[in-house]
Structure 1
Amino acid sequence: MTTSPATDLDLDAVTDVVTRAEAVRAEIADAAAFLASTWPLADFIAVNPLFGLLDRPFSEAATHAGDLLGARATPDETWLRAAWQRGRITDDDLRAALTRRHPAVLRRSPLALGDRVHDPVDLLLADLQRGIACPPPHRRARTAAEALAPDLAGLLDTHTIQWCSAFLDEGQATWRMPGRDRGFYPAWRALAAHDTTLPRPVRERLRHLPERAEDAVLEALAALGVPDDRRTHYLQAHLTRLPGFAAHVRWRGEQADEGIDLVDYLALRLGAEAAVLAGTHSHGTAWALARTDLSEVGQATVDPLGRAQHLLSALEITGTHAAQRTALAELLDELPVHQRALVWLDAYEEHYRSRLLRLLDRPLPEQPDARPQAQVVCCIDPRSEGLRRHLETLGNYRTLGFAGFFAVAMRYRDLAGGTARAQCPGPIAPRHTVTELPSPGRQRAAERSLAGRRVLAAAENSLHAAKDDLVAPFVLAEAAGWLAGPLAAAKTFAPGAAGAARSWWARRIAPAPQTEISVADDLTVAERAATAETMLTLMGLTGGFARLVVLCGHGAHTDNNPYQAALDCGACGGHPGGPNARTAAALLNDPQVRLHLADHGISVPGDTWFVAAEHDTTTDTVRLLDTHLLPDTHRPDVDALTADLRTAGARLAAERCAVLPGAPVRAQPRRAARHTRARARDWAQVFPEWGLADNAAFLIAPRARTRGVDLRSRVFLHDYDADLDPTGSVLETILTAPLVVAHWINSQYYFAAVDQDAFGAGSKAQHNVVGGGLGVMSGPTSDLRTGLPWQSLTDGHHIRHEPQRLLALVQAPLSRLDTLIARHAVLHHMFGNDWVGLAAQEHAGGTWHRYSPTGWQLWQPGADASAATTHAAHL
């Protein structure tokens, strides 16, 4: 068969279009590599905002963040100096950090200044503590509109915010953006020419945009005159202008059938910018006219001789001549001013880490030989640490730490039906969907509950609809104002009583029915058995079972809090962990699963029963779930455990009240428990709990290492016994899944604390929720505020979260760790590039070693690092 020349030309044209589109998408993907995807509020998942730079050393990523975003990636030097002045950092900490980061300084000869000779390390210490301040970073990646027409650049941002918000809206807006079913770019292209907020000439130019987003990007870049070798940088300038929206659009583009991605987003921004500048700049000239202001301006620096003179004045050293001042400037240049904060950060972290290692180096307590009253498996979340510690003092209880999704990567559909939600860590794709169903004989009770829920939902929806109507708010005020006023007053001045009354009415209207998780309907026998075996193996619970084994997930209850999901379980996709615990318990109680486990060497006694539970971290109450499924023989065990969990939770609430703003000081446990319950129901409370504030370390070791030790809810605790893991597969899973999630959590808190403007969400008092849960803005319009609000990090006056990078502590053979780090790029990047510290101990009571890319170093907590002995990488 032959083809005509015309057909060949058509095929060539189509191929050329496809090739150009693929090239544009690849270029945009490369430009956006630094962006970390941002989830919506309802599925709030902590993420390292610089995760895209993980393959670079932390110091290099910090510089890159300054250039791209104008953001600090290390704590402010003034703040660090204040920490030194109050003793949080010592001179010894700074000397050790200098030794590790700049060992060449130790080899320098003493320096004569005036009539005295000075130790180089002492001079660098003085410069750290009293030297001229480092200028703040500023954003170098800028657009042509920013340089040539700043007012129009602001108009372009507003235009982007309005149209992205309209398209991404999830039910909040009463006006739905027309044409959403066609995708973002086609819908915006059809409507932008009618947007009267834009000047008429700009609207006229927007009528002639290409039909394809990729072509619009290429056409706009050509119209602006951006050279091919500068396009990636220029695309980054637009992505960093509104990084919150860009990060969320990136996440949307990674989902199926969302209708928007970064190509569409940049087609809007570039197309609108080209249309805006076309009125004042001829085709292809804008970038050239603006280029000196766009990319040639470097970060502000400190004059070396000026820096040396400042230090001489601070130390009151006089009588120096030019050669001495030059020599001092050369010495100071060994520690560039923009790298001083990295030394400070190392010293700040080392101070805490050495104390933690000394705390862990203690004789291990004796374990009773008797069968435990119960085993309670809690999430590794630091908020579970206090509950475990207090529970263990109340009886022969054994607690374990395990990722709160209990190795069940699933989607969950509750009794009401609807869309199933992901209940697993962000990096993991759900493998199964499980459904909540009425227990046998409880169908009518379930229908009554669902009918009650619909009544409550309809009332709430009617109220919101009335508030959005033009006339209805006046009618609403006349009809319900007499009731709404007292209710609002009660919620404000007596939130505990108001919340209890509301719960009472909800229970009457929609009583909770008895339900079950239908694992048999959603998973095959082989899938159930494999999941159960994986679960028990990973948590190290393969023998010595108690009569009662509790799988305790966690969640949080607060009122009027857009950041509710940030307090829930990160391992469960930003949702409460109860469904995962219920599913895991159902699997492990399945007779067919137990037969499989027995065939694989895990014998679960016939009198062992697995029970699900959920720890409310805001009130520190623990609710046992599915207790209607319990055999009568185990009810006394459950009653005793319930009472002890209540006591443990009250004691933990008393601990937390000691630091929560507005809480009673030195409250007794019962009073503290009442206060935290009222606090959770207070719709005006901006400090319902601290979440994971102050998290600092991740311990992978047997519980015996920390049993009885007060870790101040700062450490993730994952049980692990290297003797039960000869192949290292369990450790491999822990390092590449839970540890990565913990790194994301730690990084989100860290970066939000060091630069709230760039990486945080600002004050809750200024927040407006946009798009029905898409995100928050500060004020009526702004970029989407990513990260954590200021109230999650401070008590309103002082910072609560100590910004430091995560430290992983592992009890395992060093050679095993070397093998895993070499096998997985994410581990090599985290540990080798200083994003996460790593300390390891081969066995309890052994010596601690610090990981470095050049080998393991002996870590003597509190000792000067210069005395450390370097060992071979494989011991």
Structure 2
Amino acid sequence: MSVTAVLTKETIKNKKNEFKEHDLHDLVVSASRVIAPLSPISIFAARNPWAGLEKQSFEQVAHLLKTSREVDIYPSASILRSAKERGEIDESFLQMGLQRWLDSQSFHIPREIAERFCQAALKLDPLPSSLLSSPVLNKLGTEIMDLDMNRIGNFSSQPISAKLKNQDGERIINTLDYHVIKWCKLYLDDSQTGWTMPNRDKGFYHAWHRLIQHDPLLSKNQRKSLKHLPQEAHTALLEVLSALDISHSEIPTYLEGHLLSLPGWAGMMLWRSQQSSHEHDLLTEYLAVRISMEWALVKPYLPLSNQQSEEKGSIKTLLASWIHWGNLSTEEWSLMSSFEQLEYLSFANRFDETIRRKLWLEAWEQTHTERLREKITTKQYEAKNKKSVLAQLAFCIDVRSEPFRRQLEKEGPFETIGVAGFFGLPIAISELGSHHVHASMPVIQKPKHQIKEFTDEQKQETFQQRKQVENSLSYTFKMMKHNALTSLLLPEISGPWLSMRMLARSFVPRKADYFIRKLRKNWLDKPETNLSLHYDHDIDSGIPVGFSEEEKVDYVRQALQLMGLTEGIAPLVVICGHGSQSINNPYASALDCGACGGAAGGFNARVLATLCNLPEVREVLALEGINIPKETVFVAAEHNTTVDELHWIYVPELSKSAQEAFDHIKAILPKVTHQANEERLAKLPNFNLKHKNPRAEAHRFAEDWSEIRPEWGLARNASFIIGQRELTQNCDLEGRSFLHNYDWRQDESGNLLANIIAGPGTVSQMINLQYYASTVAPHYYGSGNKATQTVTANLGVMQGNASDLLPGLPWQSVMLSDFEVFHDPLRLLIVIQAPEKYVERLLNNDVAFREKVQNGWVRLASVDSNGCWKNW
């Protein structure tokens, strides 16, 4: 019997005609805006969970998530109160925000009464439970239900399964989620299981449909109903939506509700659908599976009866708020007309907890903006004399670079530069001995070139043989684990060796890690390599290997312009990528570049430095007016952010002046590392550096496999400053600012600024909102406690074996303790050093950026050459 038999033939006909008028694919694409693509954790990249919703205001999205999922995306009352106690919120900004809000509202309540109510509610104290449960309030709440409730507010619709409970009192949507998680794990697992899901190559829905009829966790009737669903996912989805009696107008929000139920698993399906044409309908298949199972679970409860319990509870809360915060007595309430009562309830509904937290957050952000303004504009600075600069070092804009740069500049005549850490090179890289090619650039872009490492044939063959032995051992170990017979023998063979390694890593982690690293390095014995920089059209790779002569010049020119190095170039220029170091850490890639999917920046730094040293590139640039002095040499290094060390990865033959600068840097690096580690480690919880060596302690954090917080990563990021280094050079920005060099005087067209906003600006916002979301809603947008996480199918982490695929950062990346946050959840402040007309042009030309500013997703300020600050 077909699923549509639950409806009359005429109803089915009408509904199918209605559905056919609208393309299902477009409906799914539209609904997917409420989630974000989730890549596997091994290539973790920061993501803005609300990227598809930026045409709406932050406040509107907050209301959407609160009413549909009970998710708060404004900081909690405890976070806000803690910030105020630390002196991070100037209450005068809170009062100004309240007055602005009152001025923007239309209400028929005396202003002084409304303001008194708001002032009391703004304290963020919860309503007393005794008041909410009082018989008098319950009686008044029942009487209120007879009023015209439409004037107060609409209550959101949720998936049908969210409104129903089974015989045991459990919400049916929880059972639905359990089943969906099980099938998602089976389908998406690429590596952990020995047996793959049957028919997996034919798609998620097809594989599920073939197996669901044998699921022992479903009843016989449920299995029978699902067995008779159509063979095609889109047809099945249309039929079950009809069977659930979802009207055409409700379909978009209904699909959104189901995607928001498990945003991690749905986000992974969305990401996979974007990676290959083979799975481009995967999200539709996911919804077909999920809503088909919902129909099977809720079928006995249909049709739904109308219930007003949710509305009644909400109205009681509004009335209680007037009694508690407005000092309104029940007698005064009873004497009011129906119109007055509705006005009071409507006002309380508008000044809800979301608005109250919004005002607190904005006051916090304004306080941060004002203090940053004072720090920058009240400082006297002078442009550094380029002739006195011994070396220039270009670092990624990453907030972790700022303290290291500051310490470097204290120790010598060095100029540090901030630029996007992939250095404008849209490349995929293939390291020596690896058949794997991976992008080394922000995930929001696609690679245009492939760069390979190579060496002479004999050395390469030897290295690849040793690499193959290592890979074969790993593969054999994995296959033995998955085989029924060899898995019984494996503990006997590997047990003694793995036990020794476990004991060594537990009791002498530094020595164990050093020994293992050295053993592996000596075994592989990687030779010196060259890079395939010259253009070679390789049909098999899909993208060309290397660069054309024109492209070499273009990429070097672009990088020098972004770094402001078109004149006054020092004898030594160091291009510094960055990476991290940690052991037994599922989130290791999250500590590398926050934008590049776990790709460290050293390889890109080496490519750019090599290009900058090519004589043919310099000759063409000289004709354009960019003269790189003959004695200037570009070298490459990588900044290890976990231990704050600089590792040299490409140092060609140096000129005399470049050698002098190089020796000077090497001489002062131990001191710089010591000071940077001392500053960074002091921020870790329950850690006292007294009588301890900062460098040794930093390495202990990096090499101990029981360490849940090897470093803070990009926590506490709050601003993105686009301007000359002199603007911030003498400021301690506390490792909270992304710093990108920019000189508006060399950007008459405004193209450089536009590119910075579109590229690094977007990436910085993604990182900022990733940390923000993981802090304010850790149960929904974060990933919980590292100590209780389960790595699942090499895709991501779960809590236990039946949770959502957790999309965000772990508790330890944003919290000092169970009750105290480390990361301040503030929306990114972008500060541009340029005349106002430059910023106006940017906003006029970049519609997407203008919407972000207007809708509250980023904050914007500018400072001109006279030090005048403007908030936009």
Whether these two folds match at TM > 0.5 is: yes
Match of 1:596 among 596, 604, 620: 620
Cross-structure match for 2:202:
182
The C-alpha deviation readout for 1:192-245, integer Å capped at 9, x for no partner, is 323333333333333333222111111211222222221222212221221211
Q: Match of 1:373?
A: 390
Tell me the distance in 2 between the aligned counterparts of 1:33 and 1:175.
Answer: 34
1:817 aligned to which of 833, 836, 839: 839
1:871 paired residue number? none
CA distance in structure 1 between the aligned counterparts of 2:604 and 2:180, rounded to whole angstroms: 39
Q: Tell me which of 572, 581, 584 is aligned to 2:596.
A: 572
With over 3 angstroms needed to count, the CA separation of the structure-2 counterparts of 1:628 and 1:124, relative to structure 1, is same
Q: Which residue is equivalent to 1:776?
A: 797
> In the alignment, what sits opposite 2:40?
40
Q: Secondary structure, in 3 states, of the residue corresponding to 2:261?
A: coil
Question: Matched residues in 1 for 2:773 and 2:185: separation?
Answer: 26
In the other structure, the counterpart of 2:813 is 792
Residue 147 (1) aligns with residue 163 (2)? yes
Corresponding residue of 1:835: 857
Partner secondary structure for residue 228 of structure 2: coil
Question: Do the aligned partners of 1:138 and 1:299 also contact (CA within 8 Å) in 2?
Answer: no
Tell me by how many angstroms 1:687 deviates.
Answer: 0.5
For 1:431, give the aligned amino acid: K
Q: Is the 8 A contact 1:562 1:769 kept in 2?
A: yes
The residue that corresponds to 1:62 in the other structure is 62
Counterpart in the other structure of 1:345: 361
Tell me how far 1:643 sits from its aligned partner. Answer: 3.2
Report the secondary structure of 2:271's partner residue. Answer: helix
1:650 aligns with 2:650: no
Letter in 2 for 1:234: Y
Q: How does 1:139-288 map to 2 (within 5 A)?
A: 140-148=156-164, 150=166, 153-259=173-279, 261-278=282-299, 280=300, 286=302, 288=303
Match of 2:304 in 1: 289
Matched, 1:354 2:370: yes
The answer to whether residue 736 in structure 2 is matched with residue 714 in structure 1 is yes
| Cα distance, 1:844 vs structure 2 | 4.3
Which moves more between the two structures, 514-523 or 99-108? 99-108
> Match for 2:822: what amino acid?
R
Aligned mates of 1:367, 1:44 — CA distance in 2: 38
Query: Using the alignment, how far apart are the partners of 2:694 and 2:463 within structure 1?
Result: 33
- 1:111 Cα shift? 6.7
Moved more, 70-79 or 326-335: 326-335
Q: CA deviation at 1:605?
A: 1.2
After superposition, where does 1:481-560 map in structure 2 within 5 Å? Answer: 481-521=495-535, 522-560=546-584
Give the corresponding residue for 1:7. Answer: none
Q: Secondary structure at the match of 2:512?
A: helix
Distance 1:332 1:653 in 2: 50
Offset of residue 719 of structure 1:
0.6
2:595–2:767 contact (8 Å) kept in structure 1? no
**What amino acid is aligned across from residue 755 of structure 2 in structure 1?**
T
- Contact 2:28–2:284 (8 Å) recurs in 1: yes
Amino-acid identity (%): 32
Cα distance in 1 for partners of 2:534, 2:852 equals 40
Q: Compared with structure 1, are the counterparts of its residues 56 and 320 closer, same or farther at alpha carbon in structure 2 (3 Å cutoff)? A: closer
CA distance in 1, matches of 2:211, 2:109: 71
CA contact (8 A) 1:705 1:844 kept: no
Determine the C-alpha separation between the residues in 1 that align with 2:27 and 2:493: 59
2: CA distance between counterparts of 1:163 and 1:112? Answer: 57
Name the SS of the counterpart of 2:870 in structure 1. strand
8 A Cα contact 1:141 1:236, kept in partner: no
How many residues are aligned here?
A: 813
Report the equivalent of 1:673: 695
Taking a change above 3 Å as real, the CA distance of residues 501 and 300 of structure 1, as seen in their structure-2 partners, is farther
Shift of 1:329: 8.2
The 3 A distance-change label for structure 1 pair 123 and 90 is: farther
Write out per-residue CA displacement over residues 718-760 of structure 1, whole angstroms, 9 at most, x where no aligned residue. Answer: 1111111111111111111111111111001111111111111
> Does the CA-based 8 Å contact 2:155-2:311 persist in structure 1?
no
Q: Deviations over 1:509-567 (max 9, x none)?
A: 11232112211132111111111111111222111111111111111111111111111
Deviations 1:763-783 (A, max 9, x none): 1112111122x1111112211
How far apart are 1:354 and its partner, in Å?
Answer: 1.2
Q: After the TM superposition, which of the residue ranges 128-137 and 557-566 deviates more from structure 2?
A: 128-137
2:194 touches 2:483 (CA, 8 Å); kept in 1?
no
* Structure 1, gaps ≥5 residues long: 1-15, 114-119, 852-875
Report the AA paired with residue 749 of structure 1.
Y
Q: 1:501 to 1:628 in 2, by over 3 A?
A: farther
Alpha-carbon distance, 1:56 to partner: 0.9
2:446 paired residue among 415, 418, 429: 429
| CA pair 215-334 structure 1, distance change in 2 beyond 3 A | closer
Matches within 5 A, 1:46-125: 46-103=46-103, 124-125=118-119
Asked whether the equivalents of residues 750 and 805 of structure 1 are also in contact (C-alpha less than 8 Å), the reply is yes
Distance 1:633 1:843, change over 3 A: closer
User: Relative to structure 2, which stretch is displaced further, 266-275 or 210-219?
Assistant: 266-275
TM value normalised by structure 1: 0.86
Shift of 1:646: 3.4
Shift of 1:297: 5.5
Gaps of 5+ in 2: 1-15, 133-152, 536-545
How far the C-alpha of 1:86 sits from its partner, in A, is 4.5
Could you say which residue in structure 1 is the equivalent of 2:716? 694
Q: Which amino acid aligns with 1:217?
A: L
CA spacing shift, 1:402–1:337, aligned 2, 3 Å: same
1:741 aligned counterpart, secondary structure = helix
Matched, 1:763 2:790: no
Aligned-pair distance for 1:330? Answer: 8.9
Change (3 A) 1:300 1:746: farther
Contact in 2 for aligned 1:71/1:139 (Cα 8 Å): no
Q: TM-score, length-normalised on structure 2? A: 0.87
> Which 10-residue stretch deviates more, 230-239 or 321-330?
321-330
After superposition, give the CA deviation of every residue in 1:374-424 in whole Å (9 maximum; x if it has no partner).
Answer: 110000000000110001111110000001010111211221232321222
Offset at 1:632?
Answer: 8.4
Which residue does 1:29 correspond to in 2? Answer: 29
Are 1:41 and 1:562, in contact at CA under 8 Å, matched by a contact in 2? yes
Match of 1:419 among 436, 450, 459: 436
Q: Which moved more, 1:413-422 or 1:24-33?
A: 413-422
Residue 186 of structure 1: CA displacement? 2.3
Cα-to-partner distance string for 1:123-181 (whole Å, 9 max, x where unaligned): 64343126555999999553233434556544432332222222222212111122222
Tell me if 1:127 matches 2:127. Answer: no
Q: Which 10-residue stretch deviates more, 536-545 or 320-329?
A: 320-329
Shift of residue 30, structure 1, vs aligned partner: 1.5
Amino acid paired to 1:385: E
- Matched to 1:616, the amino acid is N
2-structure distance, mates of 1:68, 1:351: 32
Superimposed CA distance per residue, residues 462-481 of structure 1 (whole angstroms, 9 cap, x where no aligned partner): 33444444454553433443
1:145–1:264 CA distance, 2 compared to 1 (3 A): same
Matched with 2:146 is none
Using a 3 Å threshold, how does the CA distance of structure 1 residues 218 and 57 change in structure 2: closer, same or farther?
same
CA RMSD for the aligned pairs? 3.3
Task: Give the AA of the match of 1:31.
Answer: A
Cα distance, 1:400–1:86 mapped onto 2, change above 3 Å: closer
The Cα shift of 1:182 comes to 2.2
Change (3 A) 1:176 1:112: closer
Question: 1-side partners of 2:268 and 2:229: how far apart?
Answer: 25
Aligned residue among 752, 759, 779 for 1:730: 752
- What one-letter code is carried by the residue in structure 2 that aligns with 1:206? L
**Equivalent position SS for 1:193:** helix
CA displacement at 1:100 relative to structure 2 = 4.5
